[in-house]
């Protein structure tokens, strides 16, 4: 891998041990993946924040680092709401360790707003073509696919190293040739909002780490040979929250870091990709299978929304569904602290029902979910991760079904679609 004179000096330890170690990590990755050199990045998003996932070894590693990041950098969700951790039964010893981790990151100049949707924050803008070093898989999929930026799926240490150096190794999705679709996904049913999580979950399993291009409602339209109805046109044009859900689920059930939607996402709009030879067809029955998951011998005892963190529109919808209702079981709604601050009317309406709006964390990276045996989610990503990360069963349902289950209007065995 080619290094400039200055980079050579850093590697020789002339700029201190922290930068030397950081560059060693980037060079090791660059060598493995055949990078020719380093490229400057615009921002970093750093995973490896929850004490649940990094433990004492991670805390020690971060605490030993010195200096400041060279580009805007932000944290992924931590293991608890940093201000209201007692509300979800976090133990004091965990809370103290978690705060130490966040302080250690803060000392390095990193913004400690812990969110997996940094692209929604003010003063953290991303432009098409920007090179980034982001590490949370749903944020990576969104940045690459919906924003047209360029990032590999960094690990926590490599994203942090990139932030400290302001550069990353130039390989993978930073290179044009690796962004071309390798598998086409033909979706042969119309889609409503919650279907995008189910679609991502089903498709991700088959796609693995390939780059898919989606053709929505393709066959249906061809067969009919007539104008799309208004409803069909809407389902064929997912909004940003639906794309967020699709990418997050594919990144979890598979390892997708970049996808295209024909005629919609930035790169697929700019150029007409040749349909790849490998094809995957998704039909309604495959999505129905995702909705059909049930906790065999129990009702969900926790309903968790906001994976990835809720946008203002998702909070608004949740607030509308909960208006003048009371929940009869735990309903947690995860979002970023900034969004919660700017939309108090939605937060108040949601919390009036007895549900809790929780910031800085999520149902997967917080140990709080470990107190429950069956978690109902409207996220394909949470559906994939809850069993392994929280030791609980997971049930997938639409936002409406999740709220209805929490208020007692809809029970197990009823349609969660
Ligand atoms: Fe975000 Fe946690 Fe889901 S980090 S994408 S809410 S698993």
Residue 210 DSSP SS3: coil
Taking the chain, what is the end-to-end CA distance rounded to the nearest angstrom?
51
In CATH, which superfamily holds the domain spanning 5-176?
Answer: Aconitase, domain 3 (3.30.499.10)
CATH 3.30.420.40 is right for the domain spanning 293-407: no
Mutate to test the pocket of ligand 1, among 251, 360, 365, 369 (most ligand atoms within 8 A of CB): 365
Regarding the beta carbon of 362 and ligand 1, being less than 6 Å apart is answered yes
- Cα radius of gyration rounded to whole Å, the chain: 21
Q: What is the pLDDT of residue 236?
A: 67
Residue 331 DSSP SS3: strand
Residues 137, 248 contacting (CB under 8 angstroms): yes
What DSSP designation does 381 have?
H
- Whole-number Å distance, alpha carbon 225 to ligand 1 midpoint, is 40
Cis, peptide link before residue 282, omega less than 30° from 0: no
DSSP run (H or E) holding 273 = none
- Whole-number Å distance, alpha carbon 23 to ligand 1 midpoint, is 28
Return d(Cα 401, Cα 321) in angstroms, integer. 10
- Whole-number Å distance, alpha carbon 301 to ligand 1 midpoint, is 20
Supply the pTM of this predicted model.
Answer: 0.94
Strand partners, 282: 187
Of 336, 322, 354, 300, whose CA–CA distance to 87 is shortest? 354
**Closest approach atom of ligand 1 to CA 309:** 6
Residues 42, 123 contacting (CB under 8 angstroms): no
Around Cβ 184, how many Cβ atoms within 10 Å?
A: 21
Q: Residues spanned by CATH 3.30.499.10 within the chain?
A: 5-176, 293-407
- pLDDT lower than 70: segments of the chain: 218-236, 295-297, 412-415
Give the tokens for residue 79: 């293991």
- Residue recorded with tokens 């009869």: 328
Mutate to test the pocket of ligand 1, among 136, 257, 310 (most ligand atoms within 8 A of CB): 136
Of 289, 281, 189, whose CA–CA distance to 235 is shortest? 189
Q: What is the pLDDT of residue 292?
A: 84
Residues 244, 120 contacting (CB under 8 angstroms): no
Mutate to test the pocket of ligand 1, among 78, 141, 362, 377 (most ligand atoms within 8 A of CB): 362
- Whole-number Å distance, alpha carbon 364 to ligand 1 midpoint, is 7
Regarding the beta carbon of 246 and ligand 1, being less than 6 Å apart is answered no
Q: Helical H runs in 174-329? A: 195-207, 218-224, 230-235, 240-253, 266-270, 284-291, 312-322
For 3-15, give the DSSP string. Answer: --HHHHHHHTTTT
Return d(Cα 369, Cα 389) in angstroms, integer. 9
Return d(Cα 197, Cα 178) in angstroms, integer. 25
Residue 278 DSSP SS3: strand
- Whole-number Å distance, alpha carbon 252 to ligand 1 midpoint, is 10
Q: What is the pLDDT of residue 231?
A: 44
């Amino acid at each position: 891998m080619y290094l400039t004179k200055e980079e050579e000096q850093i590697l020789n330890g002339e700029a201190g041990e922290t930068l030397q170690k950081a560059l060693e990590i980037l060079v090791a990755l660059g060598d493995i993946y055949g990078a020719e050199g380093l490229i400057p990045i615009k921002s970093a998003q750093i995973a490896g924040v929850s004490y649940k996932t990094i433990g004492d070894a991670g805390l020690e590693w971060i605490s030993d680092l010195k200096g400041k990041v060279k580009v805007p950098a932000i944290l992924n969700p931590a293991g608890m709401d940093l201000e209201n951790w007692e509300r979800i039964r976090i133990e004091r010893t965990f809370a103290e360790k978690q705060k130490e981790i966040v302080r250690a990151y803060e000392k390095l100049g990193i913004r400690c707003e812990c969110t997996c949707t940094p692209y929604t924050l003010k003063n953290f803008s991303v432009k098409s073509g920007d090179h980034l070093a982001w590490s949370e898989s749903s944020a990576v999929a969104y940045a690459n696919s919906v924003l047209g930026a360029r990032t590999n799926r960094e690990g926590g240490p490599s994203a942090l190293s990139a932030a400290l150096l302001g550069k990353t190794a130039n390989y993978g999705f930073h290179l044009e040739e690796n962004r071309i679709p390798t598998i086409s996904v033909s979706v042969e049913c119309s889609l409503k909002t919650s279907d995008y999580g189910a679609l991502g979950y089903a498709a991700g399993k088959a796609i693995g780490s390939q780059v898919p291009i989606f053709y929505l409602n393709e066959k249906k339209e061809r067969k009919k040979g007539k104008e799309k109805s208004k409803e069909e046109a809407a389902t064929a044009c997912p909004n940003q929250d639906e794309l967020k859900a699709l990418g997050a689920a594919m990144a979890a059930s598979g390892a997708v870091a970049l996808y295209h939607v024909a005629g919609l996402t930035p790169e697929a709009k700019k150029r007409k990709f040749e349909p790849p030879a490998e094809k995957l067809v998704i039909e309604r029955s495959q999505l129905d299978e995702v909705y059909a998951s049930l906790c065999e011998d129990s009702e969900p005892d926790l309903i968790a929304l906001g994976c990835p963190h809720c946008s203002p529109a998702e909070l608004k919808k949740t607030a509308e569904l909960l208006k003048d209702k009371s929940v009869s079981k735990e309903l947690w709604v995860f979002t970023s602290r900034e969004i919660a601050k700017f939309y108090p009317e939605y937060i108040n309406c949601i919390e009036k029902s007895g549900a809790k709006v929780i910031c800085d964390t999520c149902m997967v990276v917080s140990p709080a979910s470990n107190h429950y045996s069956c978690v109902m989610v409207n996220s394909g990503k949470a559906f994939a991760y809850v069993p392994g990360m929280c030791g609980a069963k997971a049930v997938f349902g639409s936002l409406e079904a999740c709220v209805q289950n929490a208020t007692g209007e809809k029970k197990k065995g009823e349609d969660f679609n």
